A and B are shown apart, each in its own frame.
Chain A
Amino acid sequence: MSKREGEGCGRKKKTESAQKTEEYVDRSSPVIEAFKLFQQELDTKHDKYERLVKLSRDITIESKRTIFLLHRVTSVPNVEEVLNEANNRLDAVRQKIGHIAEELGEDDLYQFHKAFMPGIQEYVEAVSFHHFIKHRTLISLEEINACLVFVRDEKTKTKVCGRGLCPGACVLTFQVTPTDYLLGVADLTGELMRMCISSVGNGDVDTPFELSNFLRQIHDGFSYIGNVGPYEVSKKLHTLRQSLGKVEDACYTLRVRGSEIPKHMLADVFSNRAAVLEEDEGAV
């Protein structure tokens, strides 16, 4: 407010002292005209950014739900059914990523990267978790990108292109950057650790060993990259070590106690252990 008053005073002073230059602060001066254009340009950009942030949030939420759904595979008899449902959900997420690709169009991917990065990383986490449960391998970056090819339908295409040059197939692709992929995979390890612990709880004694092998491979991969990667990677590496430690401990216990206790009793051993651990944590 005070600024406006100050500005008003300035105007008055000007009319007294320098009347001939008053026309400079004209509403239609070239400077004001230029700034009107800048306003439009900035607003367009900010609007686009906001739309992308919203899409990214939706993608994050839906991907998180898919991950929760996938965690149920350890306790459900029909694994296929869960996997199919998860795939359907991921299809919906992919549609949203298609919207992002559409929104970006010819624009530079990196200009708005911050807006949709969290969503994409969450999607990588979900899709790689799904892939792991199905194939027990790490999904590659190409495989992820191969799923993110969209064919725009006729209506939107004519709207966007404005000319019917390419009838039928107007192909849009979205490329997950290697960095986003890397960070998504780092998040995946946390999910694998949870899956390991819960599968032990269900008396499954093979999965933990498989998981610990797989996690070790990923851990080796991250150690190989070391600090060449971006700053976030080294932060995630610390969490990855903790997850690996937990999984390795679980495998150790299984090996030691497994030979003594019949399989159907194992679940009790682990649930007791978990209870004791929780009590300890509570006491501290």
Chain B
Amino acid sequence: MSVTEMFSYIQGFLTADQDIREDIRKVVQMLEQTAREILTILQSVHQPSGFKDIPSKCLKARELFCMVQTHIGELKTKFPVEQYYRFHEHWRFVLQRLTFLAAFVVYLESESLVTREEVAKILGVEVDREKGFHLDLEDYLAGILILASELSRLAVNSVTAGDYGRPLRISNFINELDSGFRLLNLKNDPLRKRYDGLKYDVKKIEEVVYDLSIRGLAKEQEAGGDK
């Protein structure tokens, strides 16, 4: 094989590679669009009036997740399934956002941490690599960390809206999450950097809880709830 032939072969390979990436980028753009729409719906819980109709917002968000499923279904057809990690970078960010959104919906509904299996089900992907397009563990964890910072914000805003019970529940939730993450041996990678931010979220929520408890606001709420 001559040098020219060899290089034209490689050029063909590179062009094909770029075409695939172009296709993937288009689908990922649609995914990002849908993710933003879901975020807009969920963001309204931070407004004082938003606390009342959380269930209806979650329902709306869940409807939009159906669109996510179709987009991801389309994404799956754009490349050979065993080459997931070759193009991983393209959808890594959006998949983390979507994990966060799914986790946020599940938290608002049931105040529990979404499992990896649940996220996979909501997004229409697999958990195991062997079975096809899957959710990478690190992406799942990154999505959960985004949730933590969103919840610390929610704690502050729920106090403003007069819901004094919620920060305590969020505090418990985040503390559990923090002990969970402390079990992991993280390398010096983007996930680790994100994890380093978790302690500030923990701190912020603890401050909120502190403010509530020295003023007796938390107990007042509980008593009110019991009546």
Question: Is A217 touching B183 in the complex (CB atoms < 8 A)?
Answer: no
CB-CB nearest in chain A for B213: A17
Give the number of A-B contacts (CB < 8 Å): 147
B185 close to A (CB within 8 Å): yes
Q: Contacting B178 at CB < 8 Å: which of A7, A46, A113, A217?
A: A7
Question: Is A31 touching B175 in the complex (CB atoms < 8 A)?
Answer: no
Given A17-B213, A178-B14; A24-B85 close (CB under 8 Å): no
CB-CB nearest in chain A for B168: A18
Q: Contacting B186 at CB < 8 Å: which of A17, A21, A42?
A: A42
Which of A57-65, A219-227, A235-243 forms part of the interface with chain B? A219-227
Considering the complex, which residues of chain B in the window 39-95 have a beta carbon less than 8 Å from any beta carbon of chain A?
82-86, 88
Considering the complex, which residues of chain B in the window 16-53 have a beta carbon less than 8 Å from any beta carbon of chain A?
18
- Which of B10, B82, B84, B199 gathers most chain A CB within 10 Å? B10
Which of A33-41, A82-90, A156-164, A166-174 forms part of the interface with chain B? A33-41
Considering the complex, which residues of chain B in the window 102-158 have a beta carbon less than 8 Å from any beta carbon of chain A?
113, 115-116, 129-130, 137-138, 141
A181 close to B (CB within 8 Å): yes
A3 close to B (CB within 8 Å): yes
In Å, the complex CA distance between A4 and B219 comes to 26
The B interface, classified by DSSP as helix, strand, loop or mixed, is: helix
- Separation in Å of the A16 CB from the closest CB of chain B? 7
CB-CB nearest in chain B for A216: B3
Q: Cβ of A100: which chain B residues have Cβ within 8 Å of it?
A: none
Question: Is B137 touching A225 in the complex (CB atoms < 8 A)?
Answer: no
B1 close to A (CB within 8 Å): yes
In Å, the complex CA distance between A70 and B204 comes to 63
A283 close to B (CB within 8 Å): no
Q: Cβ of A111: which chain B residues have Cβ within 8 Å of it?
A: 84-85, 88
CB-CB nearest in chain A for B165: A18
Q: How large is the interface on B (under 10, 10 to 19, 20 to 34, 35 or more residues)?
A: 35 or more
Question: Is B7 touching A222 in the complex (CB atoms < 8 A)?
Answer: yes
Q: Cβ of A92: which chain B residues have Cβ within 8 Å of it?
A: none
Interface string of B149-176 (1 = CB under 8 A from A): 0000000000000000000110111011
Question: Is A25 touching B141 in the complex (CB atoms < 8 A)?
Answer: no
Question: Is A108 touching B168 in the complex (CB atoms < 8 A)?
Answer: no
Question: Is B137 touching A42 in the complex (CB atoms < 8 A)?
Answer: yes
In Å, the complex CA distance between A68 and B187 comes to 35
CB-CB nearest in chain B for A46: B187
A197 close to B (CB within 8 Å): no
In Å, the complex CA distance between A221 and B115 comes to 51
A140 close to B (CB within 8 Å): yes
Q: Cβ of A179: which chain B residues have Cβ within 8 Å of it?
A: 14
In Å, the complex CA distance between A228 and B14 comes to 7
- Separation in Å of the A225 CB from the closest CB of chain B? 5
Given A25-B179, A221-B7, A224-B11; A17-B85 close (CB under 8 Å): no
In Å, the complex CA distance between A137 and B6 comes to 11
26 A/B residue pairs, CB under 8 Å, sorted by A: A6-B203, A7-B178, A9-B206, A10-B206, A17-B213, A17-B219, A24-B173, A30-B113, A38-B141, A38-B184, A39-B184, A42-B185, A43-B185, A46-B185, A108-B85, A109-B86, A138-B1, A138-B2, A141-B6, A178-B9, A179-B14, A217-B2, A220-B4, A221-B4, A222-B7, A228-B18
* Shortest Cβ-Cβ A-B pairs, 7 listed: A221-B7, A35-B180, A110-B85, A111-B85, A110-B86, A217-B3, A140-B1
Instruction: Give chain A's interface residues, CB within 8 Å of chain B.
Output: 3, 6-7, 9-11, 13-14, 16-18, 21, 24-25, 29-32, 34-36, 38-39, 41-43, 46, 106-111, 113, 137-138, 140-142, 178-179, 181-182, 214, 217-218, 220-222, 224-225, 228-229
